[in-house]
């Protein structure tokens, strides 16, 4: 027999306990698009405790729509290994790999879960915690609080490192820039992405995956946008590589 109150308790208790047990972790990832999912996965695989917060109801970010709503993505050779790691199917085409953008999202989410990362959706990062010149946590709230125009205070979550993987919006970096006035870029500010140039974007994104402020790493589109590299298009290899690179760098440092 199905007892409704038991079910209600089960759901709320399990979810809330998981949240409360993970309010002080190694890594908080802001943004559940491809770069964030890849970074979270590789970090969790290396044994780090990782929590990912996504502001929307669904994870996957800009990958769902492929290019211009044609649900395919193209991945260059360098990132083939990551496709394989996540068991994403592809066909080969003159040096590229073409995959279903929908399958790719499903597999990234699946892989991230299997690696042990805790994922929470419908939650936005409203602010960061900065202590002694270092980001050491985020301030979170239900996204719907903002959508519904309510005035409700947020709560906090702590971590050794925060990853900014919110893509173009650079939501976390913008807060840090505004509050501290100084990021680790040439200008000290978010530089903003240049016009789309797939080739450059794909190669630069890996170099731009770095610590932009003590305790805060950027990866994926956010990295190129922050450091003034070209915009990325529907070639998703750089995004995946950048996610993996972020994981490597952080793993070496915490």
Residues 148-167 that bind its own copies (CB under 8 A): 148, 150-158, 167
Residue whose CB is less far from its own copies, 196 or 254: 196
First and final CA of the chain: distance in angstroms?
48
Residue whose CB is less far from its own copies, 151 or 186: 151
CA distance linking residue 56 with residue 133, whole number of Å: 30
Chain residues 218-237 in contact with its own copies, contact rule CB under 8 A: 231-235
Residue whose CB is less far from its own copies, 115 or 219: 115
Q: Which range touches its own copies (CB under 8 A), out of 42-50, 131-139, 182-190, 208-216? A: 131-139
Residue whose CB is less far from its own copies, 142 or 251: 142
Q: Tokens standing for 60?
A: 């996957």
Q: Is 139 in the site for its own copies (CB under 8 A)?
A: yes
CA distance linking residue 34 with residue 177, whole number of Å: 24
In sequence order, the 6+-apart residues with CB closer than 8 A to the CB of 76 are 95, 96, 97, 202, 235, 237, 238
Q: Is 186 in the site for its own copies (CB under 8 A)?
A: no
Q: Is 199 in the site for its own copies (CB under 8 A)?
A: yes
Chain residues 3-32 in contact with its own copies, contact rule CB under 8 A: 4-16, 18-20, 23-24
User: If we measure between CA atoms, which residue out of 181, 173, 178 comes closest to residue 228?
Assistant: 173
- List, in sequence order, the alpha helices (H) in 22-78: 34-45
Token pair 């399990």 in the structure block, residue = 14
What is the smallest separation between the CB atom of 108 and its own copies, expressed in angstroms?
7
Residue whose CB is less far from its own copies, 189 or 249: 189
């Amino acid at each position: 027999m199905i007892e409704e109150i038991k079910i209600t308790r089960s759901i709320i208790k399990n979810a809330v306990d998981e949240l409360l047990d993970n309010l002080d972790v190694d890594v908080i990832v802001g943004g559940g698009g491809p770069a964030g999912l890849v970074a979270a996965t590789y970090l969790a695989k290396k044994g780090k405790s990782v929590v990912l917060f996504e502001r929307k109801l669904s994870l996957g970010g800009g990958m769902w729509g492929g290019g211009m709503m044609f649900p395919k993505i193209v991945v260059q050779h360098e990132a083939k290994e990551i496709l394989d790691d996540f068991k994403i199917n592809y066909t080969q085409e003159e040096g590229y790999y073409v995959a279903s953008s929908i399958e790719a999202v499903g597999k990234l989410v699946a892989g991230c879960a299997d690696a042990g990362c805790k994922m929470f959706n419908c939650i936005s990062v409203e602010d960061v915690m900065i202590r002694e010149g270092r980001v050491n946590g985020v301030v979170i709230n239900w996204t719907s609080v903002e959508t519904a125009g309510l005035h409700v205070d947020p709560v906090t979550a702590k971590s050794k490192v925060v990853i900014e993987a919110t893509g173009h919006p650079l939501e976390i970096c913008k807060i840090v820039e505004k509050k501290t006035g100084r990021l680790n870029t040439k200008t000290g500010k978010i530089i903003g992405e240049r016009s789309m140039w797939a080739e450059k974007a794909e190669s630069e994104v890996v170099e731009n995956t770095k610590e932009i402020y003590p305790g805060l790493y950027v990866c994926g589109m956010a990295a190129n946008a922050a450091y003034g590299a070209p915009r990325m298009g529907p070639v998703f290899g750089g995004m995946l590589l950048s996610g993996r690179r972020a994981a490597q760098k952080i793993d070496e440092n915490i």
